[in-house]
Amino acid sequence: MNAIPVTAPAPLPQPLAAASAAGRTLVMGIVNVTPDSFSDGGRWDTTELAVAHGRQLLAQGADILDIGGESTRPGADRVTPQEEQGRVLPVIRALADAGAVVCVDTLHAATAAAAIDAGACMVNDVSGGLADADMHRLVAERNVVYVCQHWRGNPETMDTLTDYGEAGVVAGVETELRQRLAELDAAGVRREQIVLDPGLGFAKTPSQSWTLLAATRRLMADLGHPVLIGASRKRFLASATVPEAAADPLARDAATTATTALAAAAGAWAVRVHEVPSNRDAVHTASLWKEHR
């Protein structure tokens, strides 16, 4: 195992409590410091561009910034933790210094540790700890919020791993997330640190992603944890757009906003989005609808 810097646990940060205080679903803005992300690769792949974009998302109403340096789209090239850290750490440091609540989007425990040292207070791990056996121990030691996503295979194989048997995708995802929760508990991660993500689009057909989105409230009730919904610009939204625009991720922003409203109405803890203003408005609209229901 790679050696991981260990420091004394800090008090649990506030992102989980913030949703309750705000009385609404939180908006997590995406900052991809990568050349190959599926919808905006290369647009923010320098420190200066990424920091400027993060500041813009904050000004537009993002509650959290999710900063990643490795694309996990199907077929994406892998990068080393060292290369990943070179991309994200200066951005995390600058935005945390500016007062942002920063989440690092990484599969690698070493990158997560370095990001926490740079000011991140959350770790978003799309593998749920399956990609790096050190991740759960790190999260326990550093006492940060951990987004544990449902994951099968890897970016090269996940599109072939969509068979969830007769029980169906919701039951299958819940079963596998319960396995991750047991592993987190064994590593000493506290329940109040954990957010779950059903992994829309990851080892899911478009129909399965829609089914999981519709089950947001059930997932929270069955698993007993806050849920993050990450639908933004994903391929399954193509079925909700006009056919001539279906192949363009940017043309899925209106459908993304609709999924945000649905997730917020169902009580999701947060939505992870590329474009903040319309999704911020969708969250507030859902809050007003629930208030006057």
290 part of the active site: no
What order do you get walking across the sheet with 270-273 strand by strand?
A: 194-197, 145-149, 122-125, 102-105, 64-68, 26-32, 270-273, 228-229
**8 A C-beta contact, residue 282 and residue 257:** yes
Catalytic residue among 87, 142, 235, 272: 272
Helix (H, G, I), strand (E, B) or coil at 258: helix
Catalytic residue among 93, 234, 235, 252: 234
Residue 122 to residue 114: CA distance in whole angstroms: 12
204 part of the active site: no
Please give the C-alpha separations between residue 56 and each of 24, 61, 212, 222, 253, in angstroms, as whole numbers.
Answer: 21, 9, 31, 37, 18
Helix (H, G, I), strand (E, B) or coil at 190: coil
Q: Which residues are catalytic?
A: 234, 272
